[in-house]
Structures are given as structure tokens and as C-alpha cells.
Structure 1
């Protein structure tokens, strides 16, 4: 999803991969309004942050996408060197 990538650019990622798994959730009630995605992101901005803090940073950057276009987001947020 290009818009999610644009929003996450604020975290200055070294790498970012977004996989659309929406097709695997066809018929799921929540899938009508938003997609299901897997996110793998590597950014120095995550250094020293807990998993919860990293996820909050991602949710903040994604903003309103989390309340509409994205129904479910599986996140793997790492620091360079931890990968």
C-alpha cells in the first residue's frame, strides 16, 4: 500500500515491506472496509524502544489509515543490526 509507505517514511526506515493479505480474509466481516496487511520495517528510530512503543510509532505515522483502509496490521518492527 503506497499511502502507508509514504506515511511511514517519517520514521526514516532503512527497509520496509508491506504484504497485502486481504485475499486471505475474503468474507471476513471487517474485510469489507479495510485490508489486512503484514508490515516489516527496519528503522533506527526504534532503537531503545519497546515493542509496544514501536507499534505506537507506526500507528501514529499511519494515522487515519488505521481507522479505515487498514483493518488488520501484523507488525515486525526492528532496528538495523537486529535483523
Structure 2
């Protein structure tokens, strides 16, 4: 996202608010599978949109971006699968 703010929903529940510098949709771009969440604009957004091929090209050409993306996907996976602490 270049600017703006959006909420991320999973099963109708807001699980995150994202903004400038954040990204979404990368899991579906990586595995060509269904979306894992719904992202809804809270304010006007400006986003960079990549095709699956463009996304893969960026990851192949820039290891720093690929590692950053891997860390973010891992963090989101942990958040989605770790039970809340009492």
C-alpha cells in the first residue's frame, strides 16, 4: 500500500488494520490459491498491484524483499494459528 488504511477480516472478524508500507494478497500470489482474508478500505487507498509473474520476478531479483516477505508471512501464520494467551 502506498497510502491509506484498510482493515483485514477473517471469518467476519477484524484481525488487523494495515496502512502505508504494508502488503496483502501475497499468499494467493505465491500459491495461486484462494484468498485467506478480506481486505476492505477504511480510507481512500493507493496500491501497487502486481500479477503473480511480476511478484515472482520481484522476489527472484531482490533477496531482501523475499526475506522480508517470508518474515511477514510467517508472522501472519503464527498469529492465525496460535491460540490466544490467557
Fold similarity call, TM over 0.5 = no
User: Which of 1 and 2 has higher RCO (CA within 8 Å, sep 6+)?
Assistant: 1
Q: Flag the structure with higher strand content.
A: 1
Give the TM-score band, short-chain normalised: under 0.3
How high is the TM-score relative to the length of structure 2? 0.27
Q: Flag the structure with higher helix content.
A: 1
Q: Which has the larger radius of gyration?
A: 2
